[in-house]
Amino acid sequence: MNILVTGGTGYIGSHTCVELLNSGHSVIIADNLSNSRIEVISRIKQITGRQIFFYQVDVTDEEAVNSIFSSNRIDGVIHFAGYKSVTESVIKPLEYYFNNIVSTMVLIKLCLNYKVNKFVFSSSATVYGENKVPFVEDMELLPPKNPYGHTKVINEKILTDVAKANPDFSVAILRYFNPIGAHESGLIGESPIGIPNNLMPYITQVAKGKLDKLKIYGNDYPTIDGTGVRDYIHVVDLAKGHVAALEKLKKGVNIYNLGTGKGTSVLQLVHAFEEANHIKIPYEFVARRPGDIAECYADVSRAKRELGWSAERDIIQMCKDAWRFEKNNS
């Protein structure tokens, strides 16, 4: 298939392009490079030995995206492009709502116009709010605590309603848990701009000596050791989940959790990183981060049953690959 990947130079997008190409699909990337680097394109080519097409466009720009649809035969769209910082979304809500929702509407409209019937959307476990773990796809969603989370819920709703009204339009909504790690080549990975918000990039920057020590947000949660528990998934497994969702896509709306089904605490992740890479990570406990929940992990049975997909890489692998990328880059 010829797949249009929006946000294809970003962290999850770039790994998904690699897996699509490795599975024999062709890739057209649309990205405005607002939070990524142009070098990612040559790195994807280097890893796969395949050609890709790149358009530097903003996906909210309907005219620009229309010209991609009019000049290429597109079989499906994977829509990653979007702002993704929870804290920034509280400061700039309008930018988040505009960018994340208008881009989806533009893409859906063009898909309907050009009869492109396969649409895969990047959603997030954040839509479950403070439900009881493990999170199951059919749970009633609880209101997210920030504009970023709301944009995911609203996009899911728009896609669901459009699919209901257009029986040929097939949608996969993929709810990601916590992607970490990097491609084993060390050529692509996560490179946040400024001080990282997320745990693994913070750990790798402490390991590199760019940051002093890790601040662990809270050690009084009702969890195994008092620190927050998350379902960390290797980004390459996550990328393969997209290929499976696309290839097995059924009519209507199909929602899948992409996680491992296993919870790991902050302290467990820190210790795994130390063991995997033989580097000490200094840390201190500080107050809980507002908006954080104690535990978040997936029920992954639906993806396994319907897509034949499940995550294969363990936490040690995730820590080794994340560190290899950090060492080789920046």
Q: How far is the CB of 20 from ligand WQD (least distance, A)?
A: 20
Tell me the residue type at 121: F
Q: How far is CA 26 from the centre of its chain?
A: 20
Q: Is residue 65 a contact residue for ligand WQD (CB under 6 A)? A: no
Q: Which residue is nearest to ligand WQD (CB)?
A: 228
Q: Is residue 184 a contact residue for ligand WQD (CB under 6 A)? A: no
Q: Is residue 197 a contact residue for ligand WQD (CB under 6 A)? A: yes
Among 7, 8, 181, 228, binds ligand WQD (CB under 6 A): 228
**Residue of 102, 34, 99, 106 lying closest to 68 (CA atoms):** 106
Q: Is residue 25 a contact residue for ligand WQD (CB under 6 A)? A: no
Instruction: Output 19 or 190, the one with its CB closest to ligand WQD.
Output: 190
Choices 69-77, 160-168, 191-199, 274-282; region in contact with ligand WQD by CB under 6 A: 191-199
Q: How far is the CB of 5 from ligand WQD (least distance, A)?
A: 17
Catalytic residue among 55, 83, 148, 297: 148
Q: How far is the CB of 150 from ligand WQD (least distance, A)?
A: 12
Q: Which residues contact 155 (CB under 8 A, 6 or more apart)?
A: 100, 101, 104, 121, 123
Distance, CA of 282 to CA of 29 (rounded, Å): 39
| x-marked contacts with ligand WQD along 124-143 as a string, rule CB under 6 A | x-x-----------------
Tokens representing 324 are: 């290899």
Among 14, 16, 60, 178, binds ligand WQD (CB under 6 A): 178
CB atoms within 10 A of CB 290: 10
Q: Is residue 292 a contact residue for ligand WQD (CB under 6 A)? A: yes
Site size for ligand WQD, by CB under 6 A?
19
* Helices 315-328, 199-208: inter-axial angle, 10-degree rounding: 50
Q: Is residue 199 a contact residue for ligand WQD (CB under 6 A)? A: yes
Is 96 a catalytic site residue? no
**Alpha helices, DSSP H only, in the chain?**
11-22, 39-48, 62-71, 86-91, 93-97, 103-113, 147-165, 199-208, 235-247, 266-277, 301-302, 315-328
Instruction: Output 64 or 101, the one with its CB closest to ligand WQD.
Output: 101
Tokens representing 73 are: 């035969």
CA dist 183 → 41, 92, 214, 218, 311 (Å): 14, 32, 24, 31, 15
Tokens representing 259 are: 């996680």
The helix/strand/coil state of 33 is: coil
Q: Is residue 86 a contact residue for ligand WQD (CB under 6 A)? A: yes
Q: Is residue 262 a contact residue for ligand WQD (CB under 6 A)? A: no
Q: Is residue 239 a contact residue for ligand WQD (CB under 6 A)? A: no
Judged on CB neighbours under 10 Å (0-12, 13-18, 19+), 157 is exposed
Q: Is residue 217 a contact residue for ligand WQD (CB under 6 A)? A: yes
Instruction: Output 110 or 238, the one with its CB closest to ligand WQD.
Output: 238
Q: Is residue 174 a contact residue for ligand WQD (CB under 6 A)? A: no
Residue 18: strand pairing partners: none
Contact present, 19 and 13 (Cβ < 8 Å): no
Q: Is residue 238 a contact residue for ligand WQD (CB under 6 A)? A: no
Distance, CA of 124 to CA of 148 (rounded, Å): 10
Q: Is residue 204 a contact residue for ligand WQD (CB under 6 A)? A: no
**Contact set with ligand WQD (CB under 6 A):** 84, 86, 124, 126, 178, 197-199, 202, 214-217, 228, 230, 266, 289, 292, 296
* Residues classed as catalytic: 148
